[in-house]
């Protein structure tokens, strides 16, 4: 405001050229870190146990690349099922119907409480419990025996071992666990939307399914998308857990297998680190742009225009409190 | 427009005939937990009439308004809109709760304007206006857009149909909100302190739209602190405090010559 020759008419003074504050601590830190980094590089290069040629020979071999593809497939499928399940569970949990709300609560309680690794092994061994999976009336044999008839009310059945072969079991374990986490993310998103929005929609004669789909969920997306990115990155890493189902064509299983066969255990673990880091890095870049896109048009504009205080920024404030 | 006996009926203890009036409230009670918000409200609004509800904050004005379109459930008493019981069906001498579908159908005939506008921020002004007509009324999109254009022009925003709420001033947002309610062709309009969240210089434009609407013959129930608007536009002024109608009648009577001490005290503070 006062930079130009105006008002006082005294002209603009010389710009300030002050001596900056010195930061000796930073230089000490740089030296210490440089020494540590050099030590690390020295170890990596000179320690023969790393067996770098072994790593380079195998990291792009066909089974390993196939394993990476399997991991990506698992991530995508598990997230799709998990998100769909999460939306349904979140809507159930916020439903006025107490039975639906309680059922959703039970589901979330179970699948958030049991570790994913345990779930993976559990689903891989469900074949022990059932030789066949059948759908029909419950207790049909017992009820039949009660009335002295041979009642069989099974509608259809499949061989459990086929259904719960590695990939499906691993996918189910990851997807159902993800559903519980996504339910909480979606619930947070729905609750971050100003209740006045639902009221206005109701006052216009909209019913709950319509107002959720057209008014509340689109506004909740802004809050739901960033944590969903985190969930996807976490899911990609957690696909390594299905090695214990076991899913034999999965990345981590393949690398461990090669390591065990060739006695090059450590190089293959390093290869696993490199693979997962590469894949999660790609996802992190994607998430960065996704977040940028979804924060667009809300924050700055709402602050700039005072009229927006209630409608736009009201929701944004609630958002930050809720997450 | 002014209906001489409307004020008299609202004051009397005999319930008004629901078929003759747009809104009839008969001994309406409502409490939240142990606090009684409404303690026996009687009110009758004739078709085409404007009723302004005044009174101190916490007196139950907004709660009562929200009961009229069943956003709040009442505990006792009856409310009729257009001769139809709100939220319940009378079967014999028992009341049955309405299904969500029936409540929604009732609400779609009652327009409501909120203190904080509650426009849908992810939709443009025009989309705000056509969402409910298209999806609740099942009106063809092209027709709904034509109608939306007319309504936006009517509230003086014919050129802002493509703007998002965040790009509009508070006064413009509230005018869009009024147009949104009108897009459903309501037979009754409820206003819940429509100018209380506005900067002072923006109040006038919203009141002007409401004045025009009243002049066009719309039945309106307006909860407001704008005494000037009530004096000028209202056919009936209702003074609500402590969950009861303290005094009601034409503005010349209630505002210029109040009979009750509480009304006198309130008016002496706000005027």
Would the pTM count as exceeding 0.90? no
Closest-CA distance, B249 to chain A, in angstroms, reads 28
What's the complex ipTM?
A: 0.90
Residues 6+ apart with CB under 8 A from B22: B45, B46, B47, B49, B81, B82, B187, B188, B219
CATH 3.40.50.300 fits A58-126+165-250+264-291, yes or no: no
DSSP B190-223: EEESTTTTS-HHHHHHHHHHHHHHHHTT--EEEE
Asked whether the beta carbons of residue A297 and residue B166 sit closer than 8 angstroms, the reply is yes
Residue-wise pLDDT for A99-118, tens only, equals: 999 999 999 999 999 999 99
Please report the number of interchain residue pairs, chain A to chain B, with beta-carbon separation below 8 angstroms: 110
Contacts of A208 in chain B (CB under 8 A): 100
Long-range contacts of A162-166 (CB under 8 A, 24+ apart): A163/A133, A164/A123, A164/A124, A164/A126, A164/A127, A166/A124, A166/A242, A166/A245, A166/A246, A166/A247, A166/A248, A166/A249
Tokens, residue B129: 């206006």
Contact B108, B184 (CB under 8 A): yes
Which of the four pLDDT bands, split at 50, 70 and 90, describes residue A300? very low
Range of A114-128, A240-254, B94-108 with top mean pLDDT? B94-108
Q: What is the mean pLDDT of chain A?
A: 84
Which of the four pLDDT bands, split at 50, 70 and 90, describes residue B143? very high
Residue ranges of domains in chain A = 58-126+165-250+264-291
Range of A8-17, A55-64, A151-160, B166-175 with top mean pLDDT? B166-175
> Which among B66, B102, B104, B177 is the top mutation candidate for probing chain A, defined by the most A β-carbons within 10 Å of its own β-carbon?
B104
Q: Report whether pLDDT(A305) > 80.
A: no
Residue-wise pLDDT for A119-155, tens only, equals: 999 988 887 776 666 777 777 777 777 777 776 666 6
Asked whether the beta carbons of residue B121 and residue A312 sit closer than 8 angstroms, the reply is yes
Contacts of B166 in chain A (CB under 8 A): 297-298, 301-302, 305, 308, 311-313
């Amino acid at each position: 405001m006062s930079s130009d020759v105006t008002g006082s008419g005294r002209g603009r003074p010389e710009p300030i050229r002050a001596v900056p504050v010195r930061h000796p601590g930073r230089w000490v830190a740089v030296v210490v870190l440089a020494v540590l980094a050099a030590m690390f590089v020295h170890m990596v290069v000179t320690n023969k146990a790393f067996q770098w040629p072994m790593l380079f020979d195998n990291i792009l071999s066909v089974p390993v690349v196939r394993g990476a593809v399997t991991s990506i497939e698992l991530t995508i499928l598990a997230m799709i099922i998990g998100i769909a399940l999460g939306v349904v569970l979140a809507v159930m949990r916020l439903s006025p119907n107490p039975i639906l709300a309680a059922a959703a609560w039970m589901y979330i309680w179970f699948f958030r409480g049991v570790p994913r690794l345990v779930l993976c092994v559990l689903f891989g061994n469900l074949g022990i419990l059932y030789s066949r999976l059948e759908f029909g009336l419950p207790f049909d044999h017992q009820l039949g025996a009660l009335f002295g008839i041979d009642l069989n009310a099974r509608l259809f059945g499949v061989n459990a071992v086929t259904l719960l072969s590695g990939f499906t079991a691993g996918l189910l374990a990851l997807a159902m666990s993800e559903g519980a986490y996504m339910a909480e993310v979606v619930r947070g998103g729905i609750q971050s939307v100003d209740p006045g929005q639902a009221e206005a929609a109701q006052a216009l004669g909209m019913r709950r399914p319509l107002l959720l789909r057209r008014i509340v969920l689109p506004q909740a997306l802004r809050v739901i998308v960033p944590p969903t990115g985190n969930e996807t990155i976490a899911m990609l890493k957690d696909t390594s857990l299905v090695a214990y189902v076991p899913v034999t064509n999965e990345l981590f299983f393949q690398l461990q297998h090669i390591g065990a066969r060739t006695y090059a255990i450590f190089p293959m673990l390093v290869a696993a680190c490199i693979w997962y880091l590469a894949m999660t890095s790609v996802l992190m870049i994607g998430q960065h742009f996704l977040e940028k896109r979804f924060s667009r048009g809300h924050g700055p504009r709402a602050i700039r225009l005072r009229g927006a205080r209630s409608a736009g920024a009201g929701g944004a404030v609630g958002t930050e409190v809720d997450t | 427009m002014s209906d001489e006996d409307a004020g008299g009926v609202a004051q009397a203890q005999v319930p008004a005939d629901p078929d003759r009036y747009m809104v009839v409230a008969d001994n309406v009670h409502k409490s939240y937990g142990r606090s009684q918000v409404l303690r026996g409200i009687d009110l009758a609004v004739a078709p085409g009439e404007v009723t302004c509800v005044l009174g101190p904050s916490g007196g139950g004005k907004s709660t009562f308004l929200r009961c009229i379109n069943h956003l709040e459930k009442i505990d006792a008493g009856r409310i009729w809109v257009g001769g139809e019981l709100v939220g319940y069906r009378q079967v014999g001498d028992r009341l049955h709760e309405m299904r969500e579908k029936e409540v929604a159908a009732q609400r779609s005939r009652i327009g409501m304007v909120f203190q904080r506008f509650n426009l849908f921020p992810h939709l443009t002004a025009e989309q705000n206006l056509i969402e409910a007509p298209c999806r609740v009324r099942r009106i063809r999109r092209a027709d709904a857009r034509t109608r939306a254009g007319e309504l936006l022009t009517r509230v003086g925003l014919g050129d802002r149909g493509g703007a998002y709420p965040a790009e509009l001033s508070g006064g413009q947002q509230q005018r869009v909100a009024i147009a949104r309610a009108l897009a459903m062709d309501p037979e009754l309009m409820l206003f819940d302190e429509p100018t209380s969240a506005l900067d002072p210089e923006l109040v006038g434009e919203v009141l002007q739209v409401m004045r025009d609407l009243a002049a066009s013959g719309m039945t309106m129930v307006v909860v407001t602190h704008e005494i000037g608007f009530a004096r000028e536009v209202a056919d009936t002024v209702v003074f609500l405090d402590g969950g009861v109608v303290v005094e009601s009648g034409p503005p010349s009577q209630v505002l210029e010559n109040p009979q009750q001490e509480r009304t006198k005290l309130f008016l002496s503070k706000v005027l």
